[in-house]
Amino acid sequence: MEATSHPMIDWDVIVQTIREEKCILCIGPEIFADGKGKKLEDLLLTEFDIPNNPDIRNYYPQDGLFLFKTEEAKTRFYYKLKRFYDGSFPSAENLLAQIARIPFHLIINLTPDNLLCRVAEQEGLPCKADFYWKNRSPVNSAKLPSRQSPLVYNLFGSIYERDSLVLTYQDLFDYFDSILGARSMPTELKKIISETDNFIFLGIQFERWYMQLLLRVLSKYNDRDSFLRYASSFNVDEHIAVFCKEQFRITFVQENISEFVGKLLAECQKEGIERKAGVKPASVLKGIRDLIAKADTDNAVQKLKEYLESCGERAEDLCDEALLLAERNNRLQRRLRNGSIDERDAEVKRNQIMEALLGLIRQAENLE
């Protein structure tokens, strides 16, 4: 059935959640649809002549998964798939160029490509990429997302790391085992998901296994009932629409993907938050200083700790100091809650923590 229109899309609220980095965009295969409406699987069927491909024993269109004749055949297919995703997709690139200008801080990508980052870089817009690698320990890296320098996180692996991909049912079982066991996703991303108030789903095939898995993952890390969900997609089967509304409270909007993106970009332009080429990303440390100016010590300490952890070995000593400072701050908060310290003494200790925090920030400036 056609997706039904929501009577009141509150664009002001959506833009506000984007501004406050409380909105996550999830994009799926339908982003690749060409001007004639051919979807990604149609393009793959044509590109690889799947019914007659000598490397493929079977293809399961309901899941988008393969059975290869041999491991060598899977390797050959992988390199051809990599070349396919490195190709040109004019319709998708036009749409992604608009998405790149909307200041989402985190974008979850359900295809293994890096097309969004490629387009963003061509537009002169900062963009970072990372991906979920099943059964691998997450690696801390300097990829904390922000509106000025967003992170595109490939949930189902990267086309540039063969073993990270989900191509077969065995890959899928390994993936289930990994993600449902809460392995491989960086802690900072779990935290971002848990604090999100708005999810937007674009170009996602809701009948596919990965969509329901994605929703389970989001629910696992964000169990609040209050967050908003908007979706724009091609025709949605009535049973799938009812299931998504009942189980996950997703609101389908009548606008097609291009219309939705165009309207949202226009709203961001109106509010003056559109991402533009040549604008230098805001300093993480400046953001932490702003938190200190607002007397938000708890968040300032936590953000500094996360930033230093993301810098790896070169910040190990500072990271240790930040951990000790975070514990000092937590201990002070506990004493305040149980009444074992009066406000005057607490203020002295709070100022000491603030001075130590500013000292760490000054040292950390050498890392930027």
Q: Residue 225: its pLDDT value, please?
A: 57
pLDDT winner (highest mean) among 168-172, 251-255, 305-309: 168-172
Q: What average pLDDT does the segment 167-174 reach?
A: 92
Domain ranges of the chain: 11-270, 284-367
Residue 76 has pLDDT above 80, yes or no: yes
Cα–Cα distance between 24 and 199 in angstroms, integer? 5
Q: Which two structure tokens, joined as six digits, stand for 108? A: 């979850």
Segment 315-332 shows an average pLDDT of 86
Structure tokens that stand for 243 in this block: 């299931």
Is pLDDT larger for residue 251 or for residue 155?
155
CB 354 within 8 A of CB 292: yes
- pLDDT value at position 368? 60
pLDDT of res. 7: 47
Task: Please name the residues in contact with 224: beta carbons below 8 A apart, sequence gap of 6 or more.
Answer: none
Q: Does the structure show a pLDDT above 50 at 142?
A: no
With a CB cutoff of 8 Å and minimum separation 6, the contacts of 322 are: 301, 304, 305, 308, 360
Once rounded to an integer, what is the mean pLDDT over residues 102-121?
A: 94
Check the CA dihedral 61-65-69-73 and report its sign.
positive
| Mean per-residue pLDDT over the chain, rounded | 83
2 has a pLDDT exceeding 60: no
pLDDT at 329: 87
Q: Is 242 in a helix, a strand, or coil?
A: helix
Alpha-carbon separation of residue 175 from 157, 191, 353 (angstroms): 10, 21, 43
**Residue 1 pLDDT more than 50?**
no
- Which residue would you say has higher pLDDT here, 315 or 99? 99
Residue 153, φ and ψ in degrees, nearest 5: -110, 110
d(CA 143, CA 128): 7
Quick one: pLDDT band at residue 235, thresholds 50, 70, 90?
low
Q: Report d(CA 133, CA 185) in Å as an integer.
A: 8
Say what percent of the chain tops pLDDT 90. Answer: 32
Band of pLDDT at residue 232, cut at 50, 70 and 90: low
Residue 307, pLDDT above cutoff 60: yes
pLDDT of residue 161: 92
**Which position has the higher pLDDT, 270 or 182?**
270
Kindly state the average pLDDT of the residues 33-48.
85
Rounded to an integer, the average pLDDT of 117-131 is 91
Q: What is the pLDDT of residue 143?
A: 57
Structure confidence at residue 4 (pLDDT): 41
Is the model's pLDDT at 281 over the cut of 60? no
Question: Higher confidence at residue 37 or residue 71?
Answer: 71
Q: What average pLDDT does range 162-181 have in this prediction? A: 88
pLDDT of residue 224: 57
